[in-house]
Amino acid sequence: MKFIIEHLDKRLYKWCFLEYKHISAVVGRDKVMFTNVSGAKSKQKLSELGIVHDKSIASLSEIHKKRICVLDPFAEKTLITEDKSMFDYFVFGGILGDYPPQKRTAGFCDKLRAKGIKFEKRNLGKEQMSTDTAVYAAKKIFEGKKLSDLKFKDTIIIKINESEEVELPFRYVVEIDKQGKENLILPYGFVEFLKKRKGF
């Protein structure tokens, strides 16, 4: 089972790289594949985090005969633990990270259908998530949890300084530690990045 991140931006932004780095740390470098990556510099950076292809998954013939699941917030079925054994590849990406939602998944799925590639779709709820949050939630589900077991926080605010803050209009996972404290699951270095840049 592998996690495919279909990169849907022309550039590899710093915040996006931090999310991808988090994904690699969460599921393991050997389980991550980044597709549709352009630019030698971006490919080199991502090669430290997983397998990298400059082609879209729609053009990778070695994957087409595998069992593919595309994560789509508009899918009818919700991801469950049993899906882990039903599919070889789970496809994530800029697909889930847009606000407001651009429904880019529909266009991506059209490309797969045009190539005659068979796939199914699953959702992680209807709310928009960052890509690393979606992968983190999926991993927890594959480990035996239900989506309803996970605690989320919708729209978080990061304080930049005394007079400025950044609002992130996405859903993030919250973990409760042994002391009962809530901890947002964010990429390492993400808050520091926002403070330096004062946003995206």
Q: Is residue 14 part of a domain?
A: yes
Nearest to 187 by CA among 74, 49, 69: 49
Q: Is residue 176 part of a domain?
A: no
Of 57, 18, 19, which is closest to residue 37 (Cα–Cα)?
Answer: 57
* Partner residues linked to 68 by β-bridges: 89
Residue 44 lies in a domain: yes
113 close to 5: Cβ distance less than 8 angstroms: no
Q: Domain containing 99 — which CATH number? A: 3.40.1280.10
Domain total in the chain: 1
The reported pTM is: 0.91
Does residue 55 lie within any of the structural domains? yes
Q: What percent of the chain has pLDDT over 70?
A: 92
Q: What is the tens place of the pLDDT at every residue in 121-160?
A: 999 999 988 999 999 999 999 999 999 999 999 988 988 8
Residue 159 in any domain: the answer is no
Q: Encode 152-165: b = buried (16+ Cβ within 10 Å), e = exposed.
A: beeeeebebeeeee
Does any domain span residue 54?
yes
DSSP string, 150-178: SEEEEEEEEE-SSS-EEEEEEEEEEEE-T
**Domain assignment present for 90:** yes
Domain-located, residue 162: no
Instruction: Find the distance separating the first CA and the last CA of the chain, reported in whole Å.
Output: 32
Q: Tally Cβ neighbours within 10 Å of residue 115.
A: 14
Q: Which domain holds residue 42?
A: 2-144
Dump pLDDT digits (tens) for 49-108. Answer: 999 999 999 999 888 889 999 999 889 999 999 999 999 999 997 544 455 555 667 778
